[in-house]
């Protein structure tokens, strides 16, 4: 997920990526893991964003899902966010990582580092 929106709501790019992933998971009978990766300085807003994702997934009737909040040390996510995403994908033995391109455009995560640290295919959605 990308930068927290005002009030902890899901940013538009994250909502669109989440909807695409939900459709993909339903079509393929896949488990869905949503990670909210945020700098520690924005922990409260990120927690609200994770709650918004949980509420949205619950309302969509998705069968197998979870939402995790991962905090990156410091005030800005920077390079650490790519490492966290890669480690989580490895830990979950993920088959695919889907990310809103907004996260890269807002410099929340570095696309080049994602390519280095994510151990599976990476799909970036506009």
What's this model's pTM, rounded to 2 decimal places?
0.83
Query: Is the four-CA dihedral 6, 43, 54, 112 of positive or negative sign?
Result: positive
Domains of the chain with bracketed CATH: 6-125 (3.40.50.620)
Query: What is the tens place of the pLDDT at every residue in 28-49?
Result: 889 999 999 988 888 898 999 9
Query: What is the tens place of the pLDDT at every residue in 44-97?
Result: 989 999 999 999 898 888 888 999 999 988 766 668 899 999 999 999 999 999
Contacts of 56 (CB under 8 A, 6+ apart): 10, 15, 18
Residues 108 and 106: their CA atoms lie apart, in Å, by 5
């Amino acid at each position: 997920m990308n930068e927290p929106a005002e009030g902890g709501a899901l940013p538009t790019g994250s909502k669109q990526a989440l909807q695409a992933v939900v459709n993909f998971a339903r079509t393929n009978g896949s488990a869905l893991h949503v990670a909210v990766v945020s700098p520690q300085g924005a922990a409260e807003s990120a927690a609200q964003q994770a709650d918004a994702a949980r509420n949205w997934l619950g309302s969509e009737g998705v069968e197998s899902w979870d939402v995790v909040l991962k905090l990156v040390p410091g005030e800005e996510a920077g390079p650490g966010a790519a490492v966290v995403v890669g480690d989580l994908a490895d830990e979950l033995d993920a088959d695919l990582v889907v990310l809103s391109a907004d996260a890269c455009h807002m410099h929340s995560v570095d696309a080049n580092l994602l390519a280095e640290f994510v151990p599976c295919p990476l799909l970036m959605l506009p």
